[in-house]
Structure 1
């Protein structure tokens, strides 16, 4: 089994202040996000992809349509974005001021969500474990950074950020690459 885990492309222009968006904010890709998806598509050209799973939000479906135009993406509940509760839509500086650096660090390094975010970590972890145990072939999964972190946890690894327009690759339960942007040479 080969899982290609892609984070959707940019949803903010470079001159906009990024905000913490998740399950309740259905943003489209911006021009740079579509370009990121096109670079991903070029890097996977010629790869036989058997299925494509996404979250239900537009940014993941748009990314999948560009990366794998011949496949029908199947929205899957366990790939849905995190619900950031009262922090949804706020700039990162406001989120940090409200919940504190320690809470954000716990989320980034251990996937422990702040108290008022809506994250069923146990269910997400189980879904990834079940996927890895039962999936066959090459599967493209397009999701968010918050949801993707549980893939690494399912492998017994600490979570790590997956930047917009980047991918990770897991083959037969082994991490091959993480946070790779086709226009860069970073590999895990």
Structure 2
């Protein structure tokens, strides 16, 4: 048997709908987001997770808790699973960002924000750290954020940085599945759980456009 990791993005928030950069801002799920979390929990429960860990931000923790409550597991918290910090962009819409920082918007580099390489390293390290605690046939569910998950997976798989954008963004309460094989971890599913739809995320425009 192989260890598996399900990387679950949080449910919808009001700032997602308004296309505001959330980053480290602690924004709760809206009513739709709570319903999405409940639906995702009902589907993922069938995989019989053995461990659940979440970002410390409320939108991810509440998403994880919907699953934890259903399957009877406690949710551990790891700050390293937070979304990419947005610096001066947090709370602003994409239109406001592009108008005030046109060059930085194209590069998707927020003044005072986190570098993508730093986010990728901390998230992938967290995933591996928690996965190491699994039994050989265990299943870990990691509740995190759109950009954080995509960057963490790309780094974990050993993709060169110039190919990270080849992985598309994740919709709210969609997930990606990693499985440990004889030659390391591999991506089995990406952005699963829903029919394709526009992605509203802090992630860069080039990977969230539909």
Shift of 1:126: 5.4
2:76 aligns with one of 74, 89, 97: 74
Alignment of 1:1-188 (within 5 A): 1-12=3-14, 17-23=18-24, 25-69=25-69, 70-100=72-102, 103-104=104-105, 106-107=107-108, 113-119=109-115, 121-122=117-118, 124-125=120-121, 128-129=124-125, 131-132=127-128, 135=132, 136=134, 137-154=138-155, 155-157=157-159, 158-159=164-165, 160-172=168-180, 173-180=185-192, 182-184=193-195
Change (3 A) 1:3 1:32: same
Aligned residues: 177
Shift of 1:7: 0.7
- CA-based RMSD of the aligned residues comes to 2.5
Q: Any unmatched runs of 5+ in structure 1?
A: 108-112
Which structure shows the bigger proportion of residues in helix conformation? Answer: 2
Q: Any unmatched runs of 5+ in structure 2?
A: 198-210
Change (3 A) 1:94 1:13: closer
Shift of 1:166: 0.9
- The answer to whether the Cα contact below 8 Å between 1:55 and 1:76 also exists between their aligned partners in 2 is yes
Change (3 A) 1:126 1:21: closer
Give the aligned partner of residue 206 of structure 2.
Answer: none
- The answer to whether the Cα contact below 8 Å between 1:13 and 1:30 also exists between their aligned partners in 2 is no
Change (3 A) 1:30 1:177: same
Shift of 1:129: 4.5
Change (3 A) 1:64 1:185: same
